[in-house]
Chain A
Amino acid sequence: MSRARFWRHACAAAVLLAACSRNPQPVAPAPAATDSAAARQRADSLAAAARRDSLAALARRDSLARAQAVADSLARAMAERARADSVRAQVLREPDSAAATLMPSGLEAARAATLAEPVHFELDRSDLTAEAQRRLDGKLAILRASPRLEIQIEGHCDERGPDEYNLALGNRRAAAAKRYLVEHGIDGARIGIISYGEERPADPGHTEESWARNRRAEFRLTRGVR
């Protein structure tokens, strides 16, 4: 997102938030009724005021929802910007500073293990096997039950393909796992993807078994239940 667009969004959100936090216009107090005509007039004006009130309430609800949506997208944009800023900051620093920190999941051990279980792929494939789908179904239940959880899916490859092609392949594998979760109702904003190609094997061996273990997607928590 460009800087200009970012600030347009920020301003729009600020205006909307200001609008909905303003107090509603007070309805003018009706004069005391002296006769039936006056009473009718008063009833009409009360009805009109009630209509105005409910319209105003509707409008308020609507603008609140809109403002909430804009605020959400603003928050996401700010998070994205913060991430981009940290990418730039990390490039300027020397390497190896930040090792992956372990996120306390707040999940009971069995559920945390199910969530972390890797999903495996066939050679040079990124489509999901029946077993991969079964494992993803296990994660679906946990993600649905704990809507605060956010994860990053890492795509990995075995060592046999070209290094750079494997980065694209790992990206496709992570994307395939994410797509499955999103198609089954998980908000895509909760799932990040990253590819490590063949750079981080789970098994350092050079056998068919090692390669099969290395063709995988891993699931890492980026936000716990609390």
Chain B
Amino acid sequence: MRRTLLAVLLLFPAPLRAQDTTRAPGGVRIGITYAPLTRASVAVVRTAAAPWLDSVRSIVERDLDQSDRFEIVQRPSAGDVQSLIASRAADYVVQVDTAAGGTRVLAIEVVTGRRVQQAQLPIAGIALPGGRRAVHRAADDIVRGVTGTPGVAATALLFVRGGRLMAVDADGYGAREVRAAGRPALSPAWSPDARWIAYTAFVPAGQPIVLQDLATGAREVVPATEYGLNITPAFSPDGRRLAFAHGTEAGTDLYVYDVARRCCVQRLTAGRGFADNLSPAWSPDGTRIAFISNRAGSPQLYVMAADGTGQEVLGRFDFGATGPTSSPAWSPDGSAIAFHREVGGVPQVFVLDLATRSVRQLTGAGRNEDPTWAPDGRHLAFVSDRSGAREIWVVDLETGRLRQVTNVGGARLPAWSPRLSASEGRE
């Protein structure tokens, strides 16, 4: 009973507060809660009659909704932009129409009449290659124009289902297989430029780390990973290095490969006894690496400098009763690390605030694991079985709003992409 009460308290660590306006735009801080009533309202209207504009309008509207920064004014009818503006029914109006043979997405701040954002999409239909992505980018730019931080609709998630690599757009559209070496293929990771992915490939002769060019499908094996167990690759934020775990008969240790020079593998951790060190997560400035180690018994969260020095346990937080910990992910602003930890034998997603070393439990329903940050630093995707099967869900850390991304049955190990252009991250 006390445990339940504690869990409830952890789930709602602070009462809803008004938006903290002392923060710089874009300086997202975990724990600051936007009271829903203070969010700007937006109406997305179609003002021309081209056949594809309804699709564009509804994609933009849903993207703005899923940015969790707007209240959506529902179902404005076409052609009444002036009355919307006159009546001040919304703080912002986004107008979708045609221009120069393509599509125009125009955002207007109602009070001032200022054009917040205007996107000219060189497309006359979203079914064209890159069409949806271009619309997502337009929506993300509107979020940037209003809040200072772009949205994350023009992103995708890699994940694993049934041993196969899959990708899905961040809005849940287009779950598709990424042809990969090996079965299973595990632990997919994006390069920061979204050109490359890295993953563990189980081929008959070994378990190497594979670098794969997403556009061409060209593959290479990371040197030294032809031998032993090789898992949890992670690109450094500048894309020049790749950290990974390499297992031998003496345990599992972290190594880093110089991707930029395609040369040289350096060892970062030294096994004591048969310890496992795995799941490296780079700090966004590239100077530190968080990782999981069971050197002291149960797997826990550690951190070290990127050259392997200064290894220390990163908080054994709750009353000596800390459960096995796994899958760290460093937030894009550097202020927090998300991970999952067993609570009563069931994994739950937590966020550790590095400044205060305080921990916040985000989930409580079902099994919840393998968190991965959106580039905006306020959305977190994770795997949850709360719907009955393992699917990818996204939580907005500021409002606690949840949405289900996949509906594939058995999604695992998600990795959220950087922002993607129309052509990037295409498989």
Contacts and interface: CB of A to CB of B under 8 A. Distances in A.
Interface of A: 80, 83-84, 86-88, 90-96, 98, 100, 124, 126, 160-165, 167-169, 171-172, 175-176, 178-179, 193-196, 199
Interface stretch (B28-36, B48-56, B97-105, B224-232): B224-232
Say whether chain A's binding surface is mostly helix, strand, loop, or mixed.
helix
Interface in B241-272: 245, 247-252
B389 to A, nearest CB: 13
A93 B228 CA distance: 20
B134 interface: no
A200 to B, nearest CB: 9
Q: When A and B form their complex, which 6 residue pairs have the shortest distance between CB atoms, in order from nearest? A: A84-B226, A90-B203, A162-B326, A168-B276, A171-B247, A87-B206
A91 B183 CA distance: 11
Nearest to B383: A163
A168 B345 CA distance: 19
B324 A87 contact: no
Contacts of B327: 162, 164
A203 to B, nearest CB: 18
B219 A164 contact: no
Contacts of B231: 164, 167-168
Which of B186, B204, B210, B221 neighbours the largest number of chain A CB atoms within 10 Å of its CB?
Answer: B204
B276 A199 contact: no
Contacts of B232: 164
A222 B130 CA distance: 49
A29 B221 CA distance: 63
B250 to A, nearest CB: 8
A95 B299 contact: no
Given A83-B206, A162-B327, A199-B163, A91 B247 contact: no
A83 B221 CA distance: 13
A163 B252 CA distance: 15
B172 interface: no
B267 to A, nearest CB: 16
B180, B200, B274: residue with the most chain A Cβ atoms closer than 10 Å? B274
Contacts of A199: 163, 184, 186, 202
B276 A92 contact: no
A98 B231 CA distance: 21
Given A96-B183, A161-B324, A167-B229, 18 more contacts: A83-B205, A83-B226, A91-B208, A91-B221, A95-B180, A95-B203, A163-B186, A163-B412, A164-B186, A164-B187, A165-B276, A167-B186, A167-B247, A168-B231, A168-B245, A175-B248, A175-B251, A195-B229
